[in-house]
A and B are shown apart, each in its own frame.
Chain A
Amino acid sequence: MLLLTIFVDGVVYASWLFIVALGLTLVFGVLKILNIAHGSFYALGAYAAASFVGWFASLGLAPAWSPVAMLLAAVAVAAVVAPLTERGLLRAFHGRDEVLLVLVTYALFLILEDVTKLIWGATPYYVTEPYMLFGTVEFGVMSYVGYDFVLILVAVVCGLLVWWGLNRTRSGKIVLAVIHSEEIASSMGVNVSRIYTFAFMVGVFLAALGGALTAPMLSVQPGLSVGVIIVSFAVVIIGGLVSIEGAAIGALIVGFARALAVHTWPDAELFSIYVAMAAVLVFRPQGLFQRMQARKI
């Protein structure tokens, strides 16, 4: 029973993490940006979900519509914030040192923290209706909320869609070409800047979707963005920074390590995540699924 509980807890936590880390992976893979502001997009998604769910309720729509409101919230954040950020700020630093870009996104993270407060204030928002939409699941002494299993489903769908989009569509292959070599893709007629904007938009959408899906489980208030970005970085580093499979395995490793620690050695909960990361990096310093890099002459 304990093993089953650890397994379920690990998978649920990993699902939440994977959705956010997938966006981080995509942005790093295409734009070569370790995007600290990804946590802010997650928070924006949570706030937007709170507003959209409230708006749907004010229109007299039943709570069953709230997942649609959450999805629209994530789309809205991606549609508004991603082009503004990518074209208005990040493009000016394109090709610059990766450390500089980390600092730029950190500055953006701080700015967006205050922007969310300016828009939504410091008062918490509650959007708990979707959390109870799917009932509870009992087995033995354990009780889970059905929403947790929906989260797993959403994570699987997101992973499969991004994988399929990248590997089985023409547009995806163009994105892969840009990841492999921006210069060659550009010389072949690919509009690289459009690919950047598109990839960044998908990355922001995934962060915002992660935030929107989390909103029903907590009170949406300032400070949401910090915790998620730290653990997401651990996930993508374990996975090798540019791999969807890596992000999935990384999220599962972190999820299982944390669940095992909480159930058996709670004092080591936080420590366990970084021990798992260190253990992977000892044997594979480049992460589990680092892509082969073309040697540039």
Chain B
Amino acid sequence: MKRIQSVPRLAAVASAVTLGFAVQAPAGAQETFRVGVVSFLSGQAAESFGIPAVDGAKVLFEAFNAGQAPAPYDKKGFGGLTIEPIYVDEAGGATKQVQELKNLYDREKVDAVVGYVSSGDCLAVAPAAEEMKRFLILYDCGTPRIFEERDYEYVFRTAAHGAMDNVSLGRYLKAIDMKVGSINYINQDYAWGHDSQRDFELTMAQLYPEAKKQQDLRPKFGAGQYGTEISALLSKPADVTHSSLWGGDLQAFILQAAPRGVMKRSQVVLSAGDHVLPGLGDKMPDGVILGARGAYGLMSPDTPLNRWWFDLYEKKYGVYPVQAPYRMAQALLGLKLVVEKAMAANGGKKPDSAQLAAALKGFEWESPAGVIRMANGNGHQAIQETAIGRTKYDPEKKRVELVEIRRFPAECVNPPPDMKAEDWIKSGFKGAKC
């Protein structure tokens, strides 16, 4: 009897061992790739930039892990590695962000970090990642200084910098043969506003040397009340009024300026205005010329990849994707291909930071907004095509459409690899291919 009893016991042990191995084998296959995603989840940049970008990341990670993205992004996860995102709030200033970045690498053991909207944060975290020799993708911030002031090995930016936005605005005015004899400016009183205005001024000095600057207004970030600035704009109406305002500031400016007739008396041009269109709806005046810091949202190209991404986001969140989720998407699509490329070179094993950096340097890939090429900054800074359009409210669709869209190739509105943006504009866009 004992023998008989021992047979099932042995079988049970054997089954358990077999099952153990069976469970262990897929566990190896289900190794994860941990990605730190840093963007504004609170504060004034959250609504316009941080939360839409993180929403974009979430919907993309879901699609990647389910293997539902179109080719060449159709492998599950990153080359079979399940993606495990960790989201971090960018609010709190540059010093806090450096500490958070170190925590992500050291405590959370992330394999890559994708993040940062604020140029100040980008300038602070890039040297920290470089010092730690850890892989970092800056997906959004606009300052040209990052790769113009020093070289990096582990740091990349997968979106064009801010010079493109203002060069393309100037080129658009020229392309539609607009007569510009005077320009007013209203830009926020911090680095983004100053840099944007400088790039537009330099561009207009090349394209419209006769145009004179009139009002030069610098409201503080988060001002909210623009009544006095609007009076100043109306007291000296110019042919063109340039602004790089964004988020709540831009929404407030439009809501206050439109009823007072600013948009009727001057051609308003916004370097980064697309993200306020879904919210403002019919409160957005017709005829405003604006950019999206890329060929994003309603100006994105009609490609299968873009249709998939646009529908994926719109179905999930009930609103179409604007610039912030597009820039996040192009970073993550690039990261996916780079991880898979580095894995292939590493015998199918998960790559380390140095291998990821080597794979991304000088890489190019198709994004929903067109081809992204890591052509500048010694292969670490992306260039991309962009588009500018004009607002027109469509009462049937109940949304603002962009019409008279003009597209500009990457080499037309971005500096060549060996030149700083400012020098390039001052040189009369030397080597530009339009």
Contacts and interface: CB of A to CB of B under 8 A. Distances in A.
A168 interface: no
Interface in A250-280: 258-259, 262-263, 266-267, 269-270
A126 interface: yes
B306 interface: no
Interface of A: 1-2, 5, 8-10, 12-13, 16, 113, 117, 122-124, 126, 128, 131-132, 136, 141-145, 148, 214, 216-219, 221-224, 226-228, 258-259, 262-263, 266-267, 269-270
A219 B252 contact: yes
23 contacts: A10-B228, A117-B42, A122-B51, A124-B248, A126-B279, A126-B283, A128-B255, A142-B234, A142-B235, A145-B259, A217-B225, A217-B252, A217-B255, A218-B248, A219-B251, A219-B255, A223-B44, A223-B248, A258-B228, A259-B231, A263-B231, A269-B189, A269-B218
Interface string B242-275: 0000001001100110011100000000000000
A262 B232 contact: yes
A44 B307 CA distance: 40
Nearest to A268: B218
Interface in B194-231: 215-220, 222-225, 227-229, 231
B144 interface: no
B259 A132 contact: yes
Interface of B: 42-44, 46-47, 51, 189, 215-220, 222-225, 227-229, 231-232, 234-235, 237, 248, 251-252, 255-256, 259-261, 279-280, 283
A226 B222 contact: yes
Given A218-B255, A222-B47, A227-B223, A142 B231 contact: yes
Contact of B217 (A117, A136, A142, A266): A266
A22 B83 CA distance: 54
Contacts of B217: 262, 266
Contacts of B251: 124, 218-219
Nearest to A132: B259
Nearest to A231: B225
Which of A12, A126, A143, A224 neighbours the largest number of chain B CB atoms within 10 Å of its CB? A143
Contacts of A217: 224-225, 252, 255-256
A12 B251 CA distance: 20
Contacts of B252: 217-219
Smallest CB-CB A-B distances: 8 pairs: A218-B252, A223-B44, A219-B251, A9-B228, A262-B228, A143-B260, A266-B217, A122-B47
A143 to B, nearest CB: 5
A226 B51 CA distance: 20
Nearest to B186: A266
Contacts of B229: 262
Nearest to B229: A262
B220 A214 contact: no
A2 B235 contact: yes
Nearest to B219: A269
Contacts of A226: 222
A211 to B, nearest CB: 11
Contacts of B227: 9, 12-13, 148
Contacts of A228: 224
A223 B352 CA distance: 39
Which of B47, B225, B237, B280 neighbours the largest number of chain A CB atoms within 10 Å of its CB? B225
A281 to B, nearest CB: 22
A205 B215 CA distance: 38
A124 B231 contact: no
B265 to A, nearest CB: 8
B231 A9 contact: yes
A145 B251 CA distance: 17
A157 to B, nearest CB: 20
Contacts of B216: 266-267
Contact of B232 (A16, A144, A214, A266): A266
Nearest to A223: B44
Contacts of A214: 224-225
Given A126-B279, A216-B255, A217-B255, 11 more contacts: A9-B227, A12-B227, A122-B51, A123-B47, A124-B279, A142-B235, A217-B224, A222-B44, A227-B223, A269-B189, A269-B218
Contacts of A144: 260
Contact of A267 (B43, B46, B218): B218
Contacts of B43: 222-223
Nearest to A144: B260
Nearest to A270: B220
Contacts of A13: 225, 227-228
A50 B258 CA distance: 20
A67 B227 CA distance: 20
A120 to B, nearest CB: 11
A13 B230 CA distance: 13
B228 A259 contact: yes
Contacts of A143: 234, 260-261
A190 B218 CA distance: 51
A131 B258 CA distance: 11
Given A126-B279, A141-B235, A221-B47, A131 B223 contact: no
Contacts of A142: 231, 234-235
Contacts of A1: 235
Contact of A266 (B218, B224, B235): B218
B258 to A, nearest CB: 10
A141 B256 contact: no
A7 B294 CA distance: 42
A216 B227 CA distance: 13
A143 B44 CA distance: 30
A77 B398 CA distance: 33
A165 to B, nearest CB: 28
A14 B197 CA distance: 29
Contacts of B219: 269
Contacts of A270: 189, 220
Contacts of A262: 217, 228-229, 231-232
B177 to A, nearest CB: 27
Contacts of B234: 141-143
A278 B217 CA distance: 24
B416 to A, nearest CB: 34
Given A128-B283, A263-B232, A270-B189, A145 B260 contact: yes
A16 B261 CA distance: 22
A221 B51 CA distance: 13
Nearest to A218: B252
Given A142-B235, A226-B222, A124 B47 contact: yes
Given A266-B215, A266-B216, A218 B46 contact: no
B245 to A, nearest CB: 12
